[in-house]
Amino acid sequence: MKERMKSVPETRRRPRSGRWALCIAGLVLIGCGDNVVDPGAAMLAVAGDGAILPAGCVVDVALQLADAEGASVTFQIAEGGGSIEPAEATPTQDGLVRARWVLGGGENRLTSVSSQDPDQPLTIAAQGIPTAPGGYATIGNKIFSSTTCKPHRFVGVARPGLEWNAWDQRLRNPDLAMAEFKGMQSWNANVVRIPLAQMYWVPTSIHHVPDYPDLVTRLVTQARSIGLDVIIDLHASDRGDPAYGGEFEGQQMADVAHSIPFWRDVATRFKNDGGVLFEVYNEPNAIDWNVWLNGGDIAGGAQYAEDINAAFKKPYRAAGMQQLYDAVRSVGANNLVIVGGTHWGFFLNQVPNHLVKGFNIAYATHPYNYADKLSPTWDDAFGKLAATHPVMITEFGVTDCSSTYLTEVMDYADKHQLSWLAWSWWSPAPGPGQEAERCRFTALLDTWEGQPNALGALIRNRLLSYRPSGPT
């Protein structure tokens, strides 16, 4: 991939020989407002020049001819490998020549030649952002579907379990797992987040479960078969230690030794399905932004005052978000990559100074109702970034049973057009302490069949409110 292919492709400036482009509503365009009109030009680009869309999407091209009588225009793909229909067209009564340009991946150029002035061809340019098949592209601060070629919002729930226990009996039962996915769908969710632990996946770990990758693949296949997109979330690292002691708390940052091979393997498995998204590490914490981006050495021992698992924590080499992203792309996967912030995945305020280089990148935040993560902090924590880059709330919840915070998060997301996933599709075990556990964990279910508790009803009703056209 060319280095200039970023999440927001750069505007290309080139001599235009009197040609001009208009910003047309409904198209994503670059280079508007900086061109000089030459009234004497034989042919002007009225629509299509500078379009930015996922590869495979159609750009409606329109050319204005100064002398349309008896004229025709032939089109030829000059770069990008897309297609054009028709290859030759005549103007309408208003002197416009129209064609449909299917974009290839990367830079696209279309050459147009008028029969009235064959020595003055007109070349227009566009960007086709590569995606995994049926997947998503980031353009500006939006996520675009390569299927609809329109902005898309993900709204749904997380289904935890496989990050703590490779033997989740409901998920290991295909019928029960499918019933859960259909329950999510009945709430009008369009995505499910599945957290994983790499110690079950990588063969070198003492905790390796040989069928764990195949279990995950089956779950993804089931969810995708009913139209749910899937976020695969690396929820727990093992510090790259084959003898890792089994402390299931999320590590400060992913590691080089195991997390990079994990993502290469996962991306290889799912690179042909763009409905699978990769959240490369859940809730980085107690690290600076340079380590977050580029990796570095992580000390052992306690990382905060109440760290009861300090004895398990040996020094290790952390992978930065850039390395994790590169691991995904190294196997040819163009799937959307999701990058979480610092302070347990909350802060994104330093991302503009620490951007991950690449394309199809969204940034994730995790608001919970702790004192330093209440609504007055959101604009600075992640709202300002959302004005320029795609931001997703891939996890949010409460530590008590109050509903106000959940409503505030969803209202903020709707106002700013952010994707969101609620934590979590979970039903606490019956018995003493059930209510306390539900509130501490933000469990949304009374029963695994999809019957919501009071908090779950709040989430379900918001999801249902997006019908029939989906969240806008």
Identify the pLDDT of residue 2.
31
Say whether pLDDT at 65 is over 80: yes
What percent of the chain is predicted at pLDDT more than 70?
86
Kindly compute the dihedral angle of the four CA atoms of residues 236, 240, 243, 247, in this order, to the nearest 10 degrees: -20
Is residue 246 very low, low, confident or very high in pLDDT (cuts 50, 70, 90)?
A: low
- The string of pLDDT tens digits covering residues 340-363 is 999 999 999 999 999 999 999 999
Backbone angles phi, psi at 308, to 5 degrees: -80, -10
pLDDT value of position 435:
66
Helix axes 174-186, 212-225, angle to 10 degrees: 40
**Each residue of 278-302: b (16+ CB within 10 Å) or e?**
bbbbbbbbbbebebbbebeebeeee
Closest CA to 385 of 356, 348, 412: 348
Radius of gyration in angstroms for the set of CA atoms belonging to the chain, rounded to a whole number: 25
Model pLDDT, residue 27? 44
Identity of the highest mean pLDDT range in 5-14, 24-33, 296-305: 296-305
How far, in Å, CA of 265 to CA of 259, rounded?
A: 10
User: Burial, 43: exposed, middle or buried (Cβ in 10 Å; 0-12, 13-18, 19+)?
Assistant: buried
Burial 339-356 (b: 16+ CB within 10 A, else e): bbbbbbbbbbbebeebbb
SS3 122: strand
b/e code 184-221 from CB counts within 10 Å (16+ = b) = bbebbbbbbbbbbbbbbbbeebebebeebbebbeebbe
What whole-number distance in Å separates Cα of residue 256 and Cα of residue 249? 18
pLDDT tens profile 92-151: 888 899 999 999 999 999 999 999 889 999 999 999 999 999 999 999 999 999 999 999
Question: What stretch of H or E contains 454?
Answer: helix 454-465
- Other Cβ atoms within 10 Å of 443 Cβ, number: 22
The answer to whether 230 and 221 have CB atoms below 8 angstroms apart is: no
Domains along the chain? 1-129 (2.60.40.10), 136-465 (3.20.20.80)
pLDDT of 362-377, one tens digit each? Answer: 999 999 999 999 999 9
For residue range 177-228, what is the model confidence (pLDDT) as tens digits? Answer: 999 999 999 999 999 999 999 999 999 999 999 999 999 999 999 999 999 9
Please, what is the average pLDDT of the chain? 89
Predicted local distance difference test score (pLDDT) of residue 339:
98
pTM: 0.90
Where is pLDDT greater, at 16 or 76?
A: 76
Q: What are the backbone angles phi and psi of residue 455, rounded to the nearest 5°?
A: -70, -40
Give residue 9's pLDDT band: very low, low, confident or very high (50, 70, 90).
very low
pLDDT at residue number 150 = 97
Q: What pLDDT, on the 0 to 100 scale, is given for residue 175? A: 98
Model confidence band, residue 309 (pLDDT cutoffs 50, 70, 90): low
Report how far residue 460's alpha carbon sits from residue 445's, in angstroms, rounded to the nearest whole number: 10
Distances (CA, A) of 177 to 31, 66, 418, 444: 48, 63, 28, 17
Residue (of 275, 287, 361, 273) closest to 324 by Cα position? 361
**Which of the four pLDDT bands, split at 50, 70 and 90, describes residue 20?**
very low
Residues 33-53 have a mean pLDDT of 73
